[in-house]
Amino acid sequence: MAQDITAQELKIKLDNREDFILIDVREIFEHTEFNIGGELAPLQTSFPYKIETLKGSEDKEIVVYCRSGNRSGVAKAMLQNAGFSNVRNLIGGMIHWRTEFNS
């Protein structure tokens, strides 16, 4: 089971252009206001469909994020229940990211 990820760890992965799937489970207006490049799949609407599109990538690293880490925690559990083994939640979400990097 993958450990959750800190803002610092995620920034390094993004800066190094590592190969992983990044998913933003916030609402459209939140994503439009500020995002770090994750694919938008709001938890309450399109995320269940997103899980279906990820079939075949069960072993690939997936990082999910939201505003605070709560919704992405639910998303992580949903992915794990669907058989994905390498799912990481951004600790503290975009709140922590923006505090850390003054974005």
How confident is the model over 52-69, as pLDDT tens digits?
A: 999 999 999 999 999 999
| Predicted local distance difference test score (pLDDT) of residue 102 | 78
pLDDT > 90? residue 75: yes
| H runs (alpha helix) in 17-90 | 28-33, 47-53, 70-81
Give the C-alpha separation, 78 to 87, whole Å: 10
Please state the pTM of the whole predicted model. Answer: 0.95
Q: Which residues are catalytic?
A: 66
What's the Cα-to-Cα distance from 91 to each of 3, 42, 47, 54, 55, rounded to whole Å? 10, 18, 19, 22, 25
Give the C-alpha separation, 87 to 76, whole Å: 6
> Tokens in use for 20?
């992983």
How confident is the model over 3-25, as pLDDT tens digits?
A: 999 999 999 999 999 999 999 99
Structural domains in the chain, CATH included, are 7-101 (3.40.250.10)
